[in-house]
Chain A
Amino acid sequence: MKKSVQIAFFLLPAVVLVGIFVYYFAGWSAWASMMKWEGLSGFGDFVGLQNYIHLFTDDFVFRKGLTNTLILSGAFILVTLPLGLLNAILIDLGLKGKKAFRLIFLLPLSFSFVVSATMWVWMFAPKTGTINTILRGIGLGALTQPWLTSSSQSLLGLVIIYVWQFSGFATLVYFAGISSVRTELLEAAEVDGATTFQKYLRVVIPLQKIPTFTVLFLLLMYALRVFDLVWLTTGGGPGYSSELLATYMWRVAFNRNQFADGAAIGFVMFVLSALIVIPFVAKMRGDSR
């Protein structure tokens, strides 16, 4: 069998599956989002961009969901990236208790979102939750908060959960990045009289462009489409305070039977993701040349 045919055979399952389950359905969603479709009876007339116009102009919950999604993604990234880098440096320094430290940060990564969500709901519970109980126990009862049950804190609570869940991933990627820094460079810095702090600041961190880009890309993708963690902790509430595009898409399509609007929200999410993927792929191609 010719090599090209063999390659085609091996590629076929992936191409067919990705073609159907990603591109076909993305296209189908785009089409569905331009139809009139309410209730369970299927497509009505073609309405063009009317559903999108409705979402962007009339639907304040959609706008809130979009804003919340962007705020959550931004805050999450801004905290997780430096935290991951710092953790990786601490591990790299080979301090005492390094293994335990690594385990503490990497463990959340292995938890399923359902487990994490359930655990955080318990921890954040205003009366019986671990966090407020500890605060009360050490005499800081005045600092107890309603956390996820308050509309002013629900988004903050979600950022904390996200950071906890994903900082281990950032640490892992950065640690790999730091480990791959060539020893000659570090030795040269040492010869030049650089302190440990200067070595990291001037040599190691500037070389973390690719890990940073990788973490940024992957975490942004997670943040933009996350559903389960939010659904199981706040459900998008109280009110619409932590509503995200993904939760609102579900709500609109499946709880309210407005499937065309749901498809339109899904397509907006697809476009947002594409806006992140395309520059990333372009950058990676540029770097590999």
Chain B
Amino acid sequence: MKSKNLLLLLVFTLSIAILVPSAVVSAADDDKLVVYHWWTAGGEKEAIDAVFDLYNTVYPDIEIAENPVSGGGGGIMRSKIKTMIMAGNAPDTFQITYGSGMLESWVSVLQPIDDIWDELPVPEKIKEMGTIDGHQYGIPLNIMRNNCLWYNKDLVEELGIEIPLTSWDELYAACKKAKEAGYIPYAVGAGSGQEFWLASQIFQSFVLSAPHGGPAYLEKLYNGQANPSEDKAIREALGAIKHMIGEGYINSDYAALTWDKAADLLVSDKAVFYQMGDWAKGHLTAVGWKSGVDFNYQPSPGTEGVFSLHLDCFVFPQGAPHPTSAKKWLHLLRTAEAETVFCPIKGATPPRLDAFTDMYDVISQDILKDFRDPETTIVESAFAGPPEAWLDVFGRMFSSFFENPDVDQGVKNFANAYKSLNW
């Protein structure tokens, strides 16, 4: 009987132990930093680890509890953070895409960090992108240029295509040449319906270069001020995509390839061009290609002088359990040293105008040159300019359009999708 009672006691104790929230058990302190990020792939993982090492060197007494969550371009991690915050279990800091729409979507659960931001030497536009109701909420760590057209140097040479292509007509002519020679002219990867949000960045490169488009229109579009059913730029951009699909310039299995698999078409000499943000460089070099030797990039045709971008930043959520550690982390991230430790390994470029540049490869140097050129027009990208829901809503919309590129129906669907967002 005694052993029976003991067993009962054990069952009871276990059930209580399961039900007691872990937060109650572990006392709060400032010797820890709970970080969430989505850098898990080769290159980016080593990059963020280097920043952690730097933090540990400066603050050896603070233990870093790192939580990498891969998938969905950060979407999976953001979902996790949402549930954590709603459950009152916020981390100390987490990664988020830096841009006005994305930050606006998150601002209700963030704390302003104006004192940490204080005179960060970045272009005025970057500051403006992160300012919500007069306050700053995120410390950017790296920039990502979106309007990049990557190309296989050997194939471009073989086909006698003159780079840079500066208009849609030149792009079409180059694609025609590539197709006639038996190559895939313009590789696209939209991963089994999962990654169709990438179509948004293809579309935006066409909006930027559309006769009635351009950076000012794109800004209006991402601010909720556009009228897509009437605006000519939407019809023109969708028409351009229709042309690319209709002429067979895009690989027919685009929906079965992830973005990196589409980039591999360049590496395997099957495709000539590839429209993707500059994170593609990290992948291309990771598979053994040499920057500027095997491949190169140019601004998407018709977008010269424009720099479509988003950044990665870290934020300071309300209810962060170790606020002092979090602030120390953000203070570290704002330094040129942190950017210098991080960006070259990731294959990215630093947002600070005074960050060192010697260690970057030829492509990053070129991207940096454009970024720092006061004549360049910086415009927000689809990844953070519009509200967070944009990628999902428009991913679906473009998924339908790519399969059935009917421009009239596309404009209608675009307008409906646009209306469905809470501006």
Contact = CB atoms under 8 A, between A and B. Distances in A.
Interface residues of B, number: 41
Contacts of A236: 193, 396
B105 A39 contact: yes
B214 to A, nearest CB: 28
B392 A251 contact: yes
A17 B18 contact: yes
A13 B19 CA distance: 9
A127 B189 CA distance: 13
Contacts of A125: 253, 256
B412 to A, nearest CB: 13
A41 B19 contact: no
Contacts of B388: 255-257
Contacts of B309: none
B11 A13 contact: yes
Interface residues of A, number: 46
Interface in B375-415: 388-389, 391-393, 396, 399-400, 402-404
Contact of A121 (B192, B393, B400): B192
A136 to B, nearest CB: 14
Given A233-B192, A238-B193, A13 B18 contact: yes
B259 interface: no
B11 A254 contact: no
B216 interface: no
A1 interface: yes
Contacts of A12: 11-12, 15
A57 to B, nearest CB: 14
Interface string A183-194: 000000000000
A151 interface: yes
A164 to B, nearest CB: 17
Interface in B194-238: 194, 196
A42 B108 CA distance: 9
Interface string A236-258: 11111010000000110011111
A235 interface: yes
B106 A40 contact: yes
Contact of B193 (A10, A17, A38, A234): A234
B23 interface: no
A239 B399 contact: yes
A236 B389 CA distance: 16
A197 interface: no
Interface stretch (B79-87, B140-148, B366-374): B79-87
Interface of B: 1, 4-5, 8, 11-12, 14-15, 18-19, 75, 78-79, 82, 85-86, 105-106, 108-109, 191-194, 196, 252-253, 255-256, 388-389, 391-393, 396, 399-400, 402-404, 422
Which 7 A-B residue pairs are closest in the complex by CB-CB distance? Answer: A237-B193, A235-B193, A239-B400, A13-B15, A149-B255, A255-B392, A41-B108
Given A127-B253, A238-B196, A251-B392, 14 more contacts: A12-B12, A13-B11, A16-B19, A17-B15, A40-B82, A61-B396, A125-B256, A127-B256, A151-B400, A151-B403, A232-B194, A235-B191, A238-B400, A238-B403
